[in-house]
Amino acid sequence: MAHKRSLEDLRRLYNKAAPAGRGGMPGPGGPRGGGPGARHRRGQGKPKNLGGTISRLWSYIAAYRARLTIAVVCVLLNTVAALVGSYMLRPVINTVVDPSKTPEQRIVSLAMILMILAVIYAVEIGSVYLQARMMMIVSQNALEKLRNDLFNKLQTLPVRFFDNNTTGELMSRFTNDIDNIDMMLNNTVVNLVSGAVMLVGTFVMMVYTNIILTLVTVAFIPLFLLGGSAIAKRSSKYYSAQQSALGAINGYIEETVTGSKVVKVFNHESVCEQEFHLLNEDMRDKQFNAQFYGGIMGPIMGNTSQISYAVTAGVGGLLCLLRGFDIGGLTLFCNVSRRFSQPITTIAQQTSTIFAALAGAERVFSIMDLDPTEADMPKLAPDKEALLPLPETYAGKGLTQPIRGDVALEHVTFGYTQDKVILKDISLYAHPGQKIAFVGSTGAGKTTVTNLLNRFYEINEGSITIDGIDLRDFDRDHLRRNIAMVLQDTHLFTGTVMENIRYGRPDATDDEVIEAAKTASAHSFILRLANGYDTMLEGDGSNLSQGQRQLLNIARAALSRAPILVLDEATSSVDTRTERHIEHGMDRLMSDRTTFVIAHRLSTVRNADAIMVLEHGEIVERGNHDRLLEQKGRYYELYTGLKELD
């Protein structure tokens, strides 16, 4: 019988508690997470630096002070118009029931009052429209700049940063966090200002109308606060549990769908169904409690308001009979007293939204405040320091002189983390036109060497030079323009085949793109596509085979004029026949370039000028193919199959 994991195991494995779902998908409470309680699911917690976050966020809004001022004035105007409109009920009622006036006089007075009301409501409608438009302009422009700044910042951060932060975590900054800020700017700020003004205005109007009825209404405020607070605490707890359940079920669905072939190959469908049933059942229970307590807030507060209204109306009726209180005043007070509880409820509900938005803004700013130099620092053991100081600036205004391609590594030591060294005292050199190959077991450090050439990471010890100049002295953008790479993991962008190849050199002509495709032996299969070079690629080139995608990557590198070429398992995804076809083109491509080749197929490195055999981060053998075979060492074992690659 297949092993089944418990509900607790599934929660622990699949609930990542991140604002966004796994694999970069918007998670629970994201932009599409509507329905009751959606606000509660959109990120939890309060910002650590409340004042600093507000000040920083204000800097994005401050550029639109004029529009923001207009919006606030419109909010005040709208609220005052609503209060004045409510107050006009008093003269309307008193005019209708005034026995001292003739019917004709009542009609004239009533018509005048109605005309005044029409003007008041027209002002209210106009102010609502203008306020909404101004706030939309302010918020969307501010968020556009915020997203641009965040995206631009990500372009400056080194590869190490992306190694330490998942795609989902970064995507959540652009989706959930900024969406929370959007909600606060568009709705919450307006509701808070309007609610505060309405609360003060209604209270003043109630005191002005009748002090006794005001005391009766105010006596119900503790009941509102206690009831709302008790429900909010339970609701928040259950919405948090619902968020965790949503995260777990989303993670399980994505992993199962992504690995559907493996599930079917190993007949794991029944186990998946049972495990999903556990997660789905748990989700149902959490959603029931969350939606129940979220849903009863309105009815309970509404019924409490009705009780307050009934008591107020009863006491007001007695005042009309015993104290001569006018009927219009009683009608006005009853109407205003019902409005009095609404701002309290609104302000209480907006608190969680504000804190969620400010916490999201703080997470966005935490990335924008990163020092690229610090993010690029190798993590060393506490008792060790990097021997080479980092330059004062990350990309800096370093050297941009032409690069020939003389590459030398001298006593290079490197580790991705402080507790594990990957490369140990590596030294080698390569001249223009030479082909240097790296072979060895998986995890020996072959790819790491090529990553260091691009300054994807900073070395711990030693030095890397190009044309005798330390790698760190070059402008980083200039350096990478002079190094072309073909990686084992292909990546194509949404766009045409022509555009994807031209990624290697944006100013290349169509004829140069086609020539590069011919060099990589991609031209013939491209012509067989529906629209040739104008064929649209989507989903990382999902409509192409793995080998075809790799050929486009090779064509992209061929188009580049970079004097240094790195081929990391470049032909691993093509069949042997295709590999033979592109070898001649690759030889032409490498003829005048410094080339570094990483290959598991040892037959592809036989013509290398020098072969470096790496094991456990050290070069254990070096030489050309014939010399290494004569030594009958590690390379001989790998080539003859006496000892397979790990």
> Which tens digits make up the pLDDT trace of 407-442?
999 999 998 877 788 899 999 999 988 899 998 887
For residue 394, what pLDDT is reported? Answer: 41
State mean pLDDT over 177-201. Answer: 82
Beta carbons within 8 Å of 356's beta carbon, 6+ residues apart: 39, 42, 43, 44, 45, 180
Confidence of residue 348 (pLDDT cuts 50, 70, 90): low
> Do 23 and 255 contact (CB within 8 A), yes or no?
no
Who has greater pLDDT, 377 or 109?
109
Phi, psi of 610 (to 5 degrees): -150, 140
Residue 203 has pLDDT above 60, yes or no: yes
From-to residues of CATH 1.20.1560.10 in the chain: 7-21+49-372
For residue 296, what pLDDT is reported? Answer: 73
Give the total residue count for the chain. 646
Beta carbons within 8 Å of 188's beta carbon, 6+ residues apart: 350, 353, 354, 357
Question: E strands within 521-636?
Answer: 536-537, 564-568, 594-598, 610-615, 618-623
For residue 408, what pLDDT is reported? Answer: 93
Confidence of residue 345 (pLDDT cuts 50, 70, 90): low
* First-to-last C-alpha distance (Å) of the chain: 33
Pick the CATH number of 433-444+480-640 from 3.40.50.300, 3.40.50.10890, 3.40.50.1820, 3.30.70.20: 3.40.50.300
Residue 387 has pLDDT above 80, yes or no: no
Residue 370's nearest CA partner among 569, 155, 88 is 155
In one letter, which amino acid is 170?
L
Tell me which of 201-210, 305-314, 375-384, 473-482 is least confident. Answer: 375-384
At 388-408, the pLDDT tens digits run 333 333 444 578 888 888 999
d(CA 560, CA 323): 94
d(CA 326, CA 516): 91
H-assigned helices in 394-496: 446-453, 476-481
Mean pLDDT over the full length of the chain = 79
In one letter, which amino acid is 141?
N
Q: Alpha carbon 266 to chain centroid distance?
A: 35
Choose from 350-359, 473-482, 597-606 the range with maximum mean pLDDT: 473-482
Please report how the helices 89-97 and 327-368 are oriented relative to each other, as an axis angle in degrees rounded to 10: 170
State mean pLDDT over 113-140. Answer: 89
Is the domain 7-21+49-372 a CATH 3.40.50.300 member? no
d(CA 263, CA 255): 10
For residue 3, what pLDDT is reported? Answer: 56
Q: Which residues pair with 536 in a beta bridge?
A: 496
Q: Is 203 exposed, middle or buried (0-12, 13-18, 19+ CB in 10 A)?
A: middle
Q: What percent of the chain has pLDDT over 90?
A: 10
From-to residues of CATH 3.40.50.300 in the chain: 433-444+480-640
For residue 378, what pLDDT is reported? Answer: 46
Residue 98 has pLDDT above 80, yes or no: no
